[in-house]
Each structure stands twice: as C-alpha cells, then as structure tokens.
Amino acid sequence: MNCPLVSVIMPVYNSSKYLKDAINSILSQSYKNIELVIVNDGSTDLSRDIILSYSDPRIRLFENERNSGIVYSRNKGLQEARGKYIANLDSDDIALPGRIEKQVDFLENHADYGMCGTFFFTMDHNGKLLKKRRFPTDHTKIKTFLILGNCFCNSTVMIRAELAKELKYIEQYYVGEDYELFYRISKITKVANLPFYGTGYREHDSNISNAKLSEMLAIVNKINGQILIDLNIRVSETDMEIHRNFINSNIVFFNNDIRIKELENWLIKFYTIIKSKIGFDHILIYQLITDKWIVITYNAGQYQKLFFNNLFKLNKTFYLIRLIKRIFERVASQIRTLKN
C-alpha cells in the first residue's frame, strides 16, 4: 500500500450532497490496490467533515488554502499521486465496481496505449438512470472524433501517471480542461474507450457545463482553433466563424441562406482536407459533419438544404441513411413528449 498501483483523483468543492456515494464507489472497487487522492478546494459546506469521517487509510486528503478552481485542484492531485496510473472521478459521480480492475488490466496488457475511458450512463440527482452513452472505442475513430468534440467522459478516464504528470491540465482552459488534455494525449499515444459501463455521470443544475456554458463555449472555440492549426488547415476569419458556430450547433447563426451556403462550402473544404490526411477515419468524419449538418439545417428551417447540397453528392447512400435515422429519432422524440 506504500506504492499503490492506481491513484484516483477526486477534486471536491461543496459536494456534500453526493460525496459519500462517490467515495464509497471507489473504496468498494473490486481492485483494492488504490489510493484516493481528494483535493478539497475550499469547500464551505460539509464536504470536509464527510471526508474526515472515513478511517480508510487509502484516503489522502489535501486542502487548498482558498477556492482555487478545478484545474489547480486536478494538477495538485496529479502532483500528490503516487500510483502508476491516474484514474479520474468527479465528486458527484460514481464508479461502478469493476471499473478500475478492468482498466488496469487493459493498460497492463497494452503498453502502446496511454489512456483509456469507458462507456457510461447519465443519472439525475436521485441516481435515476437517464441515458446510456457510448463513444468510439478504436484509437483512429477517437482521434477523428476529437477533431470536432470530446468523446471521453472525464470520470471514466485512466491515464498512465508519467504521461499525465508531464502534460498536466492547462490553466487557461479552466472549463473544458479535460477535452484539451485528452486531445493532446491522443496526438502522442494510442487511446481507447473500453466497451463496458464504468461510471455513472450525474446531470444536475450545478454541473460546470451548465453553470458556465458561455465560458465553456468560448474555451472550446480556442481548443478547436488550435486543432485547425495542428492540422495545418489555413482558415479565413469567415471560415473560423463558421467553424466555431458549426461546432457549437448555433442554430440562430445559420438561419439564412447565405450562412447555410457558407457552412456547406466550409464543410466540403474541411472534409476534403481531412480525407487527404493519414490516420483519420474518413467515414466517421463524414458521418459526424453530416449528422450535425442535418440537425442545423432542419432546426434553422432550411429544409430544401436537407436534400439539395454538396454533402449529399459525396455519398448519397450514406447521407440518406443518416437523414432517415435523424428523422426517425425526431419523430420518436416527439411521440415520447406527447405521451408524457
């Protein structure tokens, strides 16, 4: 126990409502050779008292002198971690019993992988199951997906400690810091999502993604701008504006014919460039941009563009399959709403 194989890092700030569930889910893991590194970020509720109520020697508590933010707390946890692997769990989520064991087994037997996540399910404030979430499992698909958005749930991720400590979280990305780090990791090592449900992710009003949505969007824009630079894609200011609003699915921005045409032109250019590069899944990138294109054009009332566009011409069969799937999902959603 003096040299645990896995360090689970849990930043805590005013999490008393859910904290016991999170801590218990780690202490009850089937894999026992762990330490739970808790960084209390100046909590003003009962979080500290809850942590101190545990006598399990695997818990190591560190406290910030004042509320210093999530990035500072995550990096402090990395600095104090003693394990070979770093596992993340936010203080309002839960890890399912076999999660750590399965991830350790994968990384121990796949030396060429630096990080792995898992599937997860979302739950409400009472722990009620809301939705099962799956993301790509294959490295090439994940690397492709990360061009346009995050495909890891932070509370499912395990990273080799040497890698995590070297790269760290970047202070300027105080929202979306996990996405930015995972993207950088995917550039230098193979990554995977393991095909099992390892975490319950809690959705509630105080999630940082809800509380700081505008800040998050601005930071995601910075990340995506850097991704375009890394891909050696030269963009005009207009292209960058189109790309940002496309990534964020800003329907209002695309509510006229000119903007929709600009988006169509940009997506053809973007897809053509990515298709010419080695190491990306060209079918997946087409699917991702097509799916988002269909949602934007439909919700912006640009119905004629659902069929009459150059994306459709690139792969008519695949495009029609995605369109029919989206229409079916829309109808099913409306039926569920009517029933409720």
Cα distances (Å, whole numbers) of residue 205 to 30, 67, 121: 31, 20, 17
DSSP string over 133-186: E----SHHHHHHHTTTS----GGG-EEEHHHHHHH---TT-SSSHHHHHHHHHH
The residue with greater pLDDT, 332 or 294, is 294
**pLDDT for 220:** 81
Q: How far from chain centre, in Å, is Cα 126?
A: 23
Mean local confidence (pLDDT), 202-221: 70
Q: How many angstroms separate the CA atoms of 88 and 77, rounded?
A: 10
State the amino acid at position 210 in one-letter form. N
CA distances from 331 to 40, 314, 324, 328 (A): 46, 26, 11, 5
Provide the pLDDT for residue 176. Answer: 86
Predicted confidence at residue 286, as pLDDT, reads 96
Spatial separation of the C-alpha atoms in residues 203 and 210, rounded to whole Å: 9
Q: What is the mean pLDDT of residues 257-270?
A: 96
Complete domains list, the chain, with CATH: 6-206 (3.90.550.10), 231-339 (no CATH)
The pLDDT of residue 205: 65
Alpha carbons 160 and 237: distance in angstroms, whole number: 38
Residue 279 Rama label (left phi>0; alpha psi -120 to 50; beta): left
pLDDT tens figures, 128-145: 999 999 999 999 999 999
Contacts of 210 (CB under 8 A, 6+ apart): none
pLDDT, tens only, 28-74: 999 999 999 999 999 999 999 999 999 999 999 999 999 999 999 99
**8 A C-beta contact, residue 116 and residue 192:** yes
| pTM, rounded to two decimals | 0.91
104 touches 67 (CB < 8 A): no
Residue 208's pLDDT band, with cuts at 50, 70 and 90, is low
Half-sphere exposure in the Cβ direction for 173 (13 Å, CA): 20
For residues 14-34, give the mean pLDDT.
96
Asked whether 275 and 282 are in contact (CB, 8 A), the reply is yes
Residues 99-107, mean pLDDT to the nearest whole number: 96
The predicted structure's pLDDT at residue 340:
60
Is the pLDDT at 177 greater than 60, yes or no? yes
Mean pLDDT for 208-231 is: 79
Predicted pLDDT of residue 1: 46
Residue ranges with strand state E in the chain: 6-12, 34-40, 59-63, 85-88, 94-95, 113-123, 129-133, 158-160, 190-202
DSSP string across 22-50: HHHHHHT-S---EEEEEEE-S--SSHHHH
